[in-house]
Amino acid sequence: MVQQAISERITPRDLREGGAARVLARIRAGEGYYITNTERDLSQSDFKNRIMPHTQILVSKERNDAGYLSLEITGGASIHVDMLRKQINPLEKLEILSSLMPDTMFQTLCRGINLFGYRPYPENVIRLTVKSFAPYVHLWRVFDFLNYIPNMTAVFEEVQKAGCILEPSICFSTGPEHTDKFYVGKVGEILAVTGDDIILCIKNHGGLGSSKRIGDLVKSILDRYPDLIVHYHGHNTDGNDVGRIVEAVRNGAKIVDAADHAFTGFYGPPPILTVIDTLDEYGHRALGINRQAVVDTSNKLRPQREYYKDLESQFLGFDPTVQTHKLPGGATGSSFEQAVKGDFLHRMPSILQEELPRVQIELGNWWSVTPGSQILWTTAVNNVLNDKRYKDANDDLKNLMLGRYGELPFYKPSDDVYQAVFGPNWKEIVQREKGYQKIEDVDLDVEKKVLDHRLGRAATEGEFVLYLQHPNDAVNFFKFEEKYGKTWVLPPCVWFNKGGFTLGEKFEFSDAYGKHHIVEIGPKQTTKTGDAVVYLNINHHPEPILAELQQEGEGKKRKVALSAKEIAELAQSGDVRSPIKGTVSEIPVTAGEEVSAGQILIVLEAMKMLNNVISEINGVVAEVLISPGDAVDVGDPIMSVEKKV
């Protein structure tokens, strides 16, 4: 039995030595099904993407022994969050984990042309990025939020060129347009581009549809393409993903997604063991799996969960209404987080159950997944919070409606929606600007020089690739790392601490270079300037460390909350204030430049969407008060424009 389990198992070595086609032949011939441990999706859906490297390293041996077909450990929003909130280089993370888990294939989730970000990247950036991640990532799940095949072809080509396993996806949703016929047709479109040596993913990011619906879909696809390997991916938001998985496997799916039960929540994948044991009753065997290692993983993970409690969703519990609002599991936690930060948590029922479904139908009933889910969500939130629906539509929605991101699959929004978004001249605007947007290649040499300049040193190739994904957040991370070192070695009880530590609290860890340290918390004093001196007993030696604290009140200008009306009035006088809380993404103008009313002054990023700050007057830019990467709050002064007389 044990012997058999070993021979059924597929490892990176099999891929390296036999190639993708032979690995796929083994999966196809296997008498049973394989499991992907979707750690990344669990982390993203139920822990705001914050499961730390320390925890991943802790269970690396058990997970490696468990015999999964793959471990989904990167991609999606994780590359951004790795740098933004976990302060680890996503490539370094893969390097470390792959050295600890040599027998497990790693899987990524790639958004096609939107790669690991939220909007289309130039093709040369896409190709370079795939090349940089390919050494660590064996299995590439690729999707497009419009199921628009041309948005994925560059990634397809690079993945196949790199000798990795390609797993194109059909994004799944429900409604009258979402028929088996439609999806089987999409599979045909994919196969026409990729050839037969792929895995096909049914990407059910919302956990939508009944068990029967999924079983029927798998059957329809396999009836048409009997040799195709189907990988079912779902979310347990309504509490019934095990049911869907069972029906997917009973109808011929060869790979399914699940996660370690010690960390399973409500919006991510269901527990692995439940899947294994349920399918066992039906006579379907999980191939390559070492059941005890799956149990051991969770036994070891369980005590860690308490450190993550602040990252779990504000609402705990399954949400069967997902069948109505269709929010993907990966966006649920962050949506609630925004609702809390934006103080509109009480309006969530109406946003989720009324406005979001309405917007979805109005805009074309395509798939609520990145970046489409953000467009739908932001639009619905704005519609509810603003007095007028579709007012101040962001560029992403406009681009989508202009067809710049690809063809809408079923129907176009109504004229009323176009008019609400583009204004009275909407017809003219749409006529002028519509069409698929081909993103021009960037000059990589120039971009590299810009990065080197911003860092004050030569960036590595890996750093450059990360910079191309998220320029400002990547630079901030690189600077963080220079100052604070490789902090991913810190345990989550340190990283997520709230309220400070207790006197005498002790942490033992080894640094990224293998040196063992003990740090004990000593007394804390306040300096005359209001900063703190913290005494740490570092490796048995007391060391005073100055921690600068931002002084609120006296030292700094007290913040004045401005209303939208006041901000608009100030803008008329050239005092440009931030209308939202967000991050400065781009400043297309410079001091001294002449600007005219309607011209874009600053691009702010919030909720992953870009928002333009427009000049209300004709004048000259007198002063730019912020830089790319700066965080701004509502009412913060960001620029001044002198009115032309």
Site for other proteins, rule CB under 8 A: 50, 85-87, 480, 483-487, 489-490, 494-501, 507, 511-513, 515, 517, 519, 521, 524, 531-532, 534, 536, 538-539, 541-547, 549
Positive or negative: CA dihedral 380, 385, 386, 388: positive
Name the residue nearer to other proteins (CB basis): 6 or 546: 546
Residue 408: CB minimum distance to other proteins, A: 37
Q: How far is the CB of 171 from other proteins (least distance, A)?
A: 31
Q: Which is nearer to other proteins, 40 or 48 (CB)?
A: 48
Contact 494, 507 (CB under 8 A): yes
Min. distance of Cβ 560 from other proteins in angstroms? 23
Residue 82 Cβ vs other proteins, minimum distance, rounded to whole Å: 12
Count the Cβ atoms, other than its own, within 10 Å of residue 76: 25
Nearer to other proteins, 84 or 567 (CB): 84
Please state the φ and ψ torsions of residue 355, each to the nearest 5 degrees. -70, -45
**Bridge partner residues of 537 (DSSP):** 520, 542
If the CB atoms of residues 212 and 457 are measured against other proteins, the closer one turns out to be 457
Please say which residue, 386 or 525, places its beta carbon nearer to other proteins: 525
What is the amino acid identity at position 281? E
Task: CB nearer to other proteins: give 225 or 496.
Answer: 496
- Write out the two tokens for 251: 């109808």
- Tell the smallest beta-carbon distance from residue 214 to other proteins (Å): 37
Least distance to other proteins, CB of residue 627, Å: 18
Sheet-wide strand order for 532-538: 506-510, 516-526, 532-538, 541-547
Q: Which is nearer to other proteins, 32 or 530 (CB)?
A: 530
Q: What is the phi/psi pair of residue 412, to 5°?
A: -90, 155
Bridge partners of residue 603, in order along the sequence: 586, 612
Question: From the CB of 458, what's the least distance to other proteins, in Å?
Answer: 15
Q: Nearest distance from residue 312's CB to other proteins, in Å?
A: 14
Q: β-strand 199-204 against 229-234: which pairing, if any?
A: parallel
- Round to whole Å and give the CA distance between 470 and 602: 17
C-beta closer to other proteins: residue 6 or 631: 631
Q: Report, in Å, the least distance between residue 579 CB and other proteins.
A: 24
Question: Which residue, 281 or 513, is less far from other proteins as judged by CB?
Answer: 513
Is it true that the peptide bond before 371 is cis, omega within 30 degrees of 0? Answer: yes
CA angle 532, 535, 540 (to 5 degrees): 165
C-beta separation of 569 from 589 below 8 A: no
Q: How far is the CB of 76 from other proteins (least distance, A)?
A: 19
Alpha-carbon gap, residue 619 to 589, rounded angstroms = 12
Phi (first) and psi of residue 142, to 5 degrees? -125, 135
d(C-alpha 318, C-alpha 176), whole Å: 25
CA-CA distances (angstroms) from residue 554 to 318, 548, 559, 561? 46, 16, 11, 17
Dist. CA 354–CA 349, nearest whole Å: 8
H or E segment and range at residue 241: helix 241-250
